Amino acid sequence: MAALPTAASTTNTPPSPTQAQSLSETLLSQCHALLHELSTFQAYLAGLGRPHLVELRQFKAAVRAELKSLEKSCELANKAAEEDSEEDKSIPGGKDGEDSDEAEDSDRRLGVGERKVLHSLRSSNLPFYWMVWRVATTACKGLVGFNKRFYWQEAKKRRRLGGEYEAIEGEFEKLGLSNGAIGRREDEHDAAVSVSSKRNVIVDIVAEHGDEWVKVSTITPTRLLFELAKQGWEIDSDNEESDEEYRLQTYDSDDDDDDDDAIELVKLAADMKKAAAHTRVRYKHPRIRFILPKIIEGQTPHVDRVIREIRKSGVTVQCGTIPEDMPAPGAENPDVALLEATFESLLPSPYPHRTPTLNVDCTLLLALVSDLSHSRHIAHSEHHHRAITRQIELEAEKPLVPSELWPAMGDKSLVCTNEAAQRMQEIVDTIGTETEKARAQLLMGRTKEELKREDLISRFQKLSDYEVPVDWKLPIRVVEAHGEITRGFDNGQLPDVARKVASQLSDINTTTEPW
């Protein structure tokens, strides 16, 4: 017969952690790990001298708020465990008297306090925040920011109150007030004549130098089916033209009546499309990408139908492409060097979207030959114009050519228009120094003897205090732009609006565009 445990042994044995305690400690550890990575990323940006290169403040604040919530839940879990332990002691035999079948069913017989804490912990936003960060670090490039809010103006239906709407609107029109003023009047006096409102949507990740908006959703197939059932749609129907398909397809966020009937993902896709239509990045509207890591296509037909409808709106949808693993407990201090190697690939390029051939305008041609751009030490003079004095100060802080122009040009082929080259040469001939005139000849390849690129760079190096890149493509080739522009209009490559813009530009600006 096995010996009974002594009083001393039972007293010194620590109680096993409850489900709520274990879960809260795990989530706390994972939250600390996420915050550590975010802080490491911020420190990395600061080390580059560009602490605000990627907007991270709002996202990190949300994670910190979640940490406080988890810390409170951890305290409640510990308190609930103590209360349940005291309650067990008051029952003869306590939980040790349970048989194996009852032990397997213990989750349903947890204390009220622990059940509440478990529900709160299982509803934590931490898995979502971790997934956003995971997507950003594994599936995005050219990060710009997280949790960014974008706005658009949206018209709303006008409401009628007892036939008084026309009279109210008429009075406003007599006063010369606009619809926007009517909307403000409603806010102030509770009238029912609002006609527009400013709406917004939060984008989880802004990537590709602002060209792409990424929305991460941790929704599950079960939850999506629940939403369909909640709206009363016939999810057993195999008809591709069913009411469900129609309702998904015709959702319009302008219509207040649709808000309660549409699936949340569909509403979000429509709202993001509206916000993108009111936003331009380098003249284009941002692309939208949805990432649904918990959904696998081809498993549930009605979930697939929702995804198809979202794609019809022009939104890219990726399912189950990102691993869902969370950091293991105790992983608060990962290898910083490994993290920084990852961070380097995430940063936006200072020179995105460069074509193999770059068009250099007149201003940049002058910068490339100026003494101010190639001399480390230029003494101030009272005879200098204040603009020259300011430029000398700026060059001392950050030289333009070695820090920006040469890196941007890289090994790309360089061209300029006849007009730009002619105007630059006129300025250099009129007010340029002898060294500036010499640089201009090398830059454009107008030397007395024909020189190879390596020889041009070697001679240019003698005229600069900075190291000239060996892959710099000299000389800059002069091209005739008028013929190309005319052909662009004739074959439709240039839009009609370009004609209106060109008519208002000088000759040099019409034919010259920086990259």
> For the segment 73-125, what is each residue's pLDDT rounded down to a tens digit?
999 999 888 876 666 555 554 444 444 444 445 555 567 778 888 999 999 99
| CB 458, CB 452: distance < 8 Å | no
Whole-angstrom distance, CA of residue 58 vs CA of residue 464: 45
Question: Cα angle vertex 221, ends 218, 224, to 5°?
Answer: 85
Residue with tokens 């020189």: 451
Angle, helix 301-312 to helix 264-277, in steps of 10 degrees: 10
**Two structure tokens written together for 478:** 């002069």
Per-residue pLDDT, 107 = 52
Per-residue pLDDT, 184 = 44
Cis link prior to 293 (omega < 30° from 0)?
no
Helix/strand/coil for 208: helix
281 CB-contact burial (10 Å; exposed 0-12 / middle 13-18 / buried 19+): middle
Per-residue pLDDT, 316 = 97
Whole-angstrom distance, CA of residue 228 vs CA of residue 262: 9
Per domain, the residue ranges of the chain are: 358-475, 480-514
Counting as low any pLDDT under 70, the low residues of the chain are 1-15, 84-110, 156-196, 232-261, 328-334, 512-515
What would the pLDDT profile of 409-463 be if each residue is shown by its tens digit? 999 999 999 999 999 999 999 999 999 999 999 999 999 899 999 999 999 999 9
Per-residue pLDDT, 361 = 93
Whole-angstrom distance, CA of residue 323 vs CA of residue 397: 45
Per-residue pLDDT, 243 = 45
- The closest alpha carbon to 28, from 116, 128, 126, 115, belongs to 126
Per-residue pLDDT, 500 = 86
- The closest alpha carbon to 145, from 154, 132, 156, belongs to 132
Which H/E stretch holds residue 24? helix 19-47
Whole-angstrom distance, CA of residue 39 vs CA of residue 118: 29
**Two structure tokens written together for 91:** 């029952």
Whole-angstrom distance, CA of residue 159 vs CA of residue 181: 16
Per-residue pLDDT, 102 = 46
pTM exceeds cut of 0.95: no
Per-residue pLDDT, 435 = 97
| CB 408, CB 515: distance < 8 Å | yes
